[in-house]
Chains A and B, each alone.
Chain A
């Protein structure tokens, strides 16, 4: 009850509401721009949070995430081009409805289902995060080291398709994290005589480079959209009868989204397709799927919005981001010196409460803002792509400079963008690299702290039950991934 009162007080005494709405607007616009995913939308605004109060910064990022998940469905429905990956499943029936002259209805179903998914995910986030974080109270430095190894091995094996490439990306990420002053001895490492590198390379710069700059480079020279969005579209929220019709599909979306959000490497796009298939399987109106089914929009939209909240559960409890967007949010937390886990719930309860309250505000406001902002989104999506590229690059460079006021940072962002572009060409996943940068210092400092405790004896890791369990889980995970890859390679060879 005390926390509820505190949350209400925050609503009137802090700029939480305008910040959440601003984040929502930015998220919807970013998500609506084809090629700009939720994580890129968040990465673009991440540098701006540097100078903000921690609560506002985290609320802004969370609201952007919520907004981007809805925004992605706008071009998916109107021009058959998903704004974000997780809106890809919405294209199937959304565009069909648009062709039948029901674009406004399709957008309304998407908006309503997104809000239902967000609320459901948010409720789970509030209920599950704190108890899970309390588990982490029993963690020793050895357990934290093992948790870091488990996180890296899960993400490396799940996020890219190739375990080997995932592991290489994760190792490169940890290497980047070793730049700067050694946390134990205070000696400089890989600083090349540049004092700017003594404090290390901030994960935020790597995120902006990998997500935003590499995507701009990838899109360079592309023609952009072949078709433009008709300017006269009005959102029509579903009536009671329609709400009843799509409720089962929404429920399926929420359940699938919960599991996918909790699983590292799952993500909104997988959840959206699974829930689409399940909704079709369980529907009384199965024949409508693929021909403009409202349920075909409701299920994926509810699921990807549920993922937006539930993917924050492992992040806030253990510091393991399960998706690119959660990794950017982790970057936002770290910028302000906030470390996920039980201490976050003890020392920074205002941030956690702010996150819950801000997300709730953003979810409710989504229904109104989504309707009001549609003309602006349509106008922006219809702008020539070269102008969009120019303004996005200007935003990236301006934002990156604000972090330290250093041109060196711009160099780091651009170099990382180049590396990211090569990673796209050679199909190396980003998430393990990001996780490596973020978790590298945690893994190293806990590894060395453990050895300080034991006087250099590695057997200390086998004396800690949690550490042993987590390390065994890491090995099991890697072995399963290797077996799976070998089996897939054999099947491919047979097929050829």
Chain B
């Protein structure tokens, strides 16, 4: 229930930001009766309304429960959030360094970083797996499928 109240708050904030974005949409003399900002305005109002409903529903449910029985965010979820964010940070790191050092080295580093982060000890086997994996990915995407991957700014 607490999670739902927090979610409702986040939904309201998103609706607010989206509404502010809607105000930035320009108008054209060629536009129709609804306009480019017509649907976005409706959507921001609908989302805000749904957010309020979610909060109200959670508060009503909470009111009917004895204080000791109010469920809170459980410890396991609280502990897993930083771990999940860590993994996301590694992926974001790849997105930042791949256009600098190039695809293959970046993929090798990504495999090493994720494997270590998830509990594998650094070793030669890990390094060989990462390099082999990077070569495999390059062969598959660039050589076989002929699709673009980030290129190094150095070479």
Residues of A within 8 A of B (CB): 48, 50-51, 164-165, 167-168, 171-172, 174-175, 178, 182, 184-190, 213, 216-218, 220-221, 384-387, 389-391, 393-395, 397-398, 401-402, 405, 407, 410-411, 414, 417-418, 421-422, 425-426, 428, 444, 447-448, 451-452, 455-456, 489, 493, 496
Contact = CB atoms under 8 A, between A and B. Distances in A.
A393 B148 contact: no
B26 interface: yes
Given A190-B21, A387-B115, A397 B36 contact: no
A47 to B, nearest CB: 9
B40 interface: yes
A398 B91 contact: no
B103 to A, nearest CB: 8
A407 B98 contact: yes
Contact of B18 (A51, A175, A188, A385): A175
A46 to B, nearest CB: 14
Contacts of A182: 25, 31, 36
A218 B84 contact: yes
Contacts of A405: 148
A489 B14 CA distance: 27
A189 B118 CA distance: 40
Counting chain A CB atoms within 10 Å of each CB, the highest count among B28, B65, B95 belongs to B95
B30 A394 contact: no
Contacts of B120: 384, 386-387
A293 B123 CA distance: 46
B19 to A, nearest CB: 11
Contacts of B95: 397, 407, 410-411, 414
A313 to B, nearest CB: 30
Contact of B141 (A402, A411, A496): A402
A217 B84 contact: yes
B47 A390 contact: no
A405 B34 CA distance: 35
A185 B31 contact: yes
Contacts of A167: 50
Contacts of B65: 496
Contacts of B37: 189
Interface of B: 3-4, 6-7, 10-11, 14, 18, 21, 25-28, 30-40, 43, 46-47, 50-51, 53-54, 57, 61, 64-65, 69, 77, 80-81, 83-88, 90-92, 94-95, 98-99, 103, 107, 110-120, 129-130, 133, 137, 141, 145-150
B36 A185 contact: yes
Given A185-B32, A218-B84, A407-B150, A387 B129 contact: yes
B88 A175 contact: no
A171 B47 contact: yes
Given A168-B54, A393-B110, A213 B91 contact: yes
A189 B47 contact: no
B20 to A, nearest CB: 10
A89 to B, nearest CB: 27
22 contacts: A51-B145, A168-B54, A185-B35, A185-B36, A186-B28, A188-B25, A189-B21, A189-B25, A386-B114, A386-B119, A389-B87, A389-B114, A390-B110, A390-B114, A390-B118, A401-B150, A402-B141, A411-B92, A426-B4, A426-B7, A448-B38, A451-B34
